[in-house]
Amino acid sequence: MSKVASHSPASLWKIEDWPNSADQVPHKSNDVCIIGAGIAGLTSAYLMAMEGLRVTVLEASMPGDGETGNTSAHLSSALDDRFTELEELFGKEGSFLAAESHRWAIDIIESICLREGIDCDFERVDGFLFTTDPAEEEELRREFEAARRAGFTDLEFLHAPPLRSRRQGSAIRFPNQGHFHPLKYLKGLSKAVQKYGGHILLNHEVIDIHGHEAPYTLTTRQGSTFTASHVVIATNTPFNNRFVMHTKQAAYRTYIVTMAIESGAVNKALYWDMKDPYHYVRLYQPNEHQTLLIVGGEDHKTGQSEDPDSSFARLETWARANFPEAGEVVTRWSGQVIEPVDSLAFIGRNPGDDQIYIATGDSGHGLTHGTIAGMLLNDLVHKRSNPWEKLYDPARKATSFASLKEYFTENINVALQYRDYFSPADLSRPSEVPIGEGAIVRYGLQKLAVYRDHDNELHMLSAVCPHLGGIVRWNKVEKTWDCPCHGSRFSCKGEVINGPAMTNLNKAELR
Ligand SMILES: Cc1cc2nc3c(=O)[nH]c(=O)nc-3n(C[C@H](O)[C@H](O)[C@H](O)COP(=O)(O)OP(=O)(O)OC[C@H]3O[C@@H](n4cnc5c(N)ncnc54)[C@H](O)[C@@H]3O)c2cc1C
Ligand code: FES
């Protein structure tokens, strides 16, 4: 594998000067408090503020510090779980509604860019679902028919893949897909939220929502409180719902490499294959001298890969086989996607709450799902009906054979992770942990997560995840502790990075 210059999406999508309302007097009581300033939170804030609601967005860190900053930014209505599967899960009507909602999401992103003058490199491009494997031809044919039934009237079936290097295979061309620069878009949305009177407070991490009915009181770790008639939890994975929602979805790591490529060597489009996990590709021009091929895939359940580094190696090998025009690797990173057991996001009232809403289960379509969340939640707050409310209802039950099978497979997998209480440790003593690495060490009946920093100091933490007691595992690529149960992640020193855990790993108690 080639040497790489950077290990973070920041070098690709980085922008500065985020709008912050810290110097304004916060709304005392809000119509809506939105927790999280990713695409779901800021689209909701934008649409609600534009309709005159008093809106405050509370963001633990900076906009885009969540998964919106890790994305590859395909805007696609051709859903990667595929319309043949959606028909099985939700019937022909459900599959049609799902496609319609994602088509609408791309349209609304385009019209928000025009209306607010957001320069975020938004472009319409073709999308190609392709195969080079004769064994997948029949499945692709069936997908073509299912996509047509889902309302794609302008599809084309191609008897060759859209790759210059490959002759054998076929593809479906989906016109009118899109791509953009995700953080330039978020910045534009943030400015528009403020223009319509909304507030965005950075470094405000919500740790509690009090009250069984509106108005709710929200408390932040930084010590401020806010009240709101409606609360939108747009934190990617909901922290308020400790158990139920996490049985309906699972956290996966997905990997990206960007590779230098000559301008024009590959047509500007979205490409994805039919493998499971699938690979996804687009082009991006950071400046007039440079073009990059952004290649993603090789997903696995969070905390469940022995060797995450090999995901990057496999991704690069796949990219070179299919896009031999690609040159050296420039950047690589990984991020988290939340996969619902039945393919579609959960957007709507949090089960059991009247005016608390969640947007989660983004899967590989979180940018369009997040945009749909904005529109759907705005309608719910205004007590208007919405054509997609039932489809995305977080309280929906897995009823089809396919979704029940996925539900049981995922939950048995979670239950099996608790065997780690009894499995051997990685090393026998903390003194064996190398510099810059972490390992699980047994101490009596306890398991410890031990990290040795570059100053040779040992950081000894309890390996028990504060969410629901899973045993974390060391991720040697990202230098994090990852929980294999529901995807909570912690820095090498134990600070929480991804929920649903709300608190850090505890310091080890050595008696
Ligand atoms: C590698 C990768 C590639 C992807 N590619 C695509 C793609 O091509 N197309 C696509 O549509 N989707 C893609 N996705 C998915 C998509 O990027 C995400 O689903 C989407 O950006 C999630 O947006 P969000 O607003 O739900 O969450 P986030 O962007 O994660 O925002 C949540 C925000 O909540 C904040 N927060 C968390 N807890 C708290 C708290 N307690 N208090 C206050 N704030 C809090 C976080 O700091 C964060 O800023 C990809 C994801 C990854 C990782
Ligand atoms: S994330 Fe649920 S137990 Fe760790």
Supply the CATH number for residue 226's domain. Answer: 3.50.50.60
What is residue 2's predicted lDDT score, i.e. its pLDDT? 38
Residues at CB less than 6 angstroms from ligand 1? 35-41, 58-61, 65-68, 70-74, 205-206, 234-236, 239, 254, 256, 296, 335-337, 359, 362, 364-368, 370, 499
- Ligand 2 pocket, residue 469 CB under 6 Å: yes
Of 416, 447, 473, 483, best ligand 2 pocket probe by most atoms within 8 Å of the beta carbon: 483
The CB density around residue 27, as the number of other CB atoms within 10 Å, is 19
Closest CA to 265 of 163, 153, 368: 163
- 505 assigned to some structural domain: no
The atom number, within ligand 2, closest to the CA of 488 reads: 1
Read off the pLDDT of each residue in 117-143 and give the average, rounded to a whole number. Answer: 96
Question: Which ligand neighbours the alpha carbon of 64 most closely?
Answer: 1
C-alpha span between 368 and 408 (Å, rounded): 27
Cα 68 to ligand 1 centre (Å) = 4
**H/E run at residue 113:** helix 83-116
What is residue 485's predicted lDDT score, i.e. its pLDDT? 93
Cα 63 to ligand 1 centre (Å) = 10
The one-letter amino acid code at 104 reads W
Q: Which of 382, 406, 430 is the last residue before a domain boundary?
A: 406
Locate 152 and state its tokens. Answer: 């794609």
Of 12, 20, 47, 68, best ligand 1 pocket probe by most atoms within 8 Å of the beta carbon: 68
Question: Which ligand neighbours the alpha carbon of 203 most closely?
Answer: 1
Closest CA to 192 of 326, 102, 89, 63: 63
Question: Total domain count for the chain?
Answer: 2
Closest CA to 206 of 58, 395, 76, 367: 58
Q: Let me know whether 431 and 467 are in one domain.
A: yes
Q: Let me know whether 211 and 349 are in one domain.
A: yes
The CB density around residue 93, as the number of other CB atoms within 10 Å, is 12
Q: Let me know whether 427 and 488 are in one domain.
A: yes
- Which residue's CA is the nearest one to ligand 1's atom 32? 235
- 116 assigned to some structural domain: no
- Ligand 2 pocket, residue 486 CB under 6 Å: yes
Which percentage of the chain shows pLDDT scores above 90?
76
Evaluate if residue 398 carries a pLDDT over 80: no
Locate 395 and state its tokens. Answer: 């309280």
- 104 assigned to some structural domain: no
pLDDT tens-place string over residues 250-290: 999 999 999 999 999 999 999 999 998 899 999 999 988 99
The atom number, within ligand 1, closest to the CA of 68 reads: 21
SS3 annotation, 213-241: CCCEEEEECCCCEEEEEEEEECCCCCCCC
- Ligand 2 pocket, residue 301 CB under 6 Å: no
Locate 192 and state its tokens. Answer: 């528009």
Sheet with 438-443, side-by-side order of all strands: 438-443, 446-452, 458-462
C-alpha span between 124 and 110 (Å, rounded): 9
What is residue 6's predicted lDDT score, i.e. its pLDDT? 46
The atom number, within ligand 2, closest to the CA of 468 reads: 3
What is residue 345's predicted lDDT score, i.e. its pLDDT? 96
- 226 assigned to some structural domain: yes
Residue with tokens 């899960």: 89
Q: Let me know whether 366 and 396 are in one domain.
A: yes
- 443 assigned to some structural domain: yes
Q: Let me know whether 443 and 491 are in one domain.
A: yes
Taking the model in full, what pTM does it have? 0.94
* pLDDT classification of 10: cutoffs 50, 70, 90: low
Q: Let me know whether 371 and 432 are in one domain.
A: no
Cα 121 to ligand 1 centre (Å) = 20
- Ligand 2 pocket, residue 468 CB under 6 Å: yes
Question: Which ligand neighbours the alpha carbon of 469 most closely?
Answer: 2
Q: Let me know whether 58 and 205 are in one domain.
A: yes
* pLDDT classification of 400: cutoffs 50, 70, 90: confident
User: Running DSSP on this structure, what letter comes out for residue 427?
Assistant: B
* pLDDT classification of 294: cutoffs 50, 70, 90: very high
Q: Let me know whether 430 and 487 are in one domain.
A: yes
C-alpha span between 235 and 243 (Å, rounded): 16
Q: Let me know whether 378 and 442 are in one domain.
A: no
pLDDT tens-place string over residues 175-211: 999 999 999 999 999 999 999 999 999 999 999 999 8
The atom number, within ligand 1, closest to the CA of 66 reads: 30
Of 7, 8, 71, best ligand 1 pocket probe by most atoms within 8 Å of the beta carbon: 71
Range of the domain at 357: 19-71+183-246+343-406
Supply the CATH number for residue 486's domain. Answer: 2.102.10.10
- 369 CB contacts (<8 Å, ≥6 apart)? 40, 102, 105, 344, 345, 347, 359, 361, 362, 363
User: Comparing 202-206, 426-430, 475-479, 489-493, which segment has the lowest mean pLDDT?
Assistant: 426-430
C-alpha span between 440 and 446 (Å, rounded): 10
What is residue 3's predicted lDDT score, i.e. its pLDDT? 38
pLDDT tens-place string over residues 321-343: 999 999 999 999 999 999 998 98
What is residue 19's predicted lDDT score, i.e. its pLDDT? 83
Which percentage of the chain shows pLDDT scores above 70?
98
3-state secondary structure of 346: strand
Q: How many CA atoms lie less than 13 Å away from 331 in the CB half-sphere?
A: 21
Tell me the sheet residues that pair with 461: 449, 507
- 118 CB contacts (<8 Å, ≥6 apart)? 112, 184, 185, 187, 188, 189, 192
Read off the pLDDT of each residue in 148-173 and give the average, rounded to a whole number. Answer: 92
Q: How large is the greatest C-alpha to C-alpha distance in the chain, in angstroms?
A: 68
- 451 assigned to some structural domain: yes
C-alpha span between 494 and 448 (Å, rounded): 11
Is the dihedral angle over the CA atoms 479, 480, 482, 487 positive or is it negative? negative
Q: Where are the alpha helices (DSSP H) in 200-261?
A: 244-247
Q: Let me know whether 459 and 490 are in one domain.
A: yes
pLDDT tens-place string over residues 355-377: 999 999 988 899 999 999 999 99
User: Phi/psi at 477 (nearest 5 deg)?
Assistant: -80, -45
Sheet with 489-491, side-by-side order of all strands: 473-475, 480-482, 489-491, 496-498
- Ligand 2 pocket, residue 470 CB under 6 Å: yes
- Which residue's CA is the nearest one to ligand 2's atom 1? 486
What is residue 4's predicted lDDT score, i.e. its pLDDT? 43
What is residue 11's predicted lDDT score, i.e. its pLDDT? 67
Read off the pLDDT of each residue in 49-65 and give the average, rounded to a whole number. Answer: 95
- 46 assigned to some structural domain: yes
C-alpha dist (Å) from residue 242 to 47, 246, 299, 488, 500: 28, 7, 24, 12, 7
Q: For residues 155 and 174, is the Cβ–Cβ distance under 8 A?
A: yes
What is residue 319's predicted lDDT score, i.e. its pLDDT? 96
Average pLDDT for the chain: 92
Q: Let me know whether 367 and 476 are in one domain.
A: no
- 266 assigned to some structural domain: no
How far is C-alpha 446 from the geometric centre of its chain's CA atoms?
33
Read off the pLDDT of each residue in 156-172 and give the average, rounded to a whole number. Answer: 89
- Ligand 2 pocket, residue 467 CB under 6 Å: yes
Q: Let me know whether 489 and 434 are in one domain.
A: yes
The one-letter amino acid code at 210 reads H
How many residues in total does the chain contain?
Answer: 511
Read off the pLDDT of each residue in 473-484 and give the average, rounded to a whole number. Answer: 94
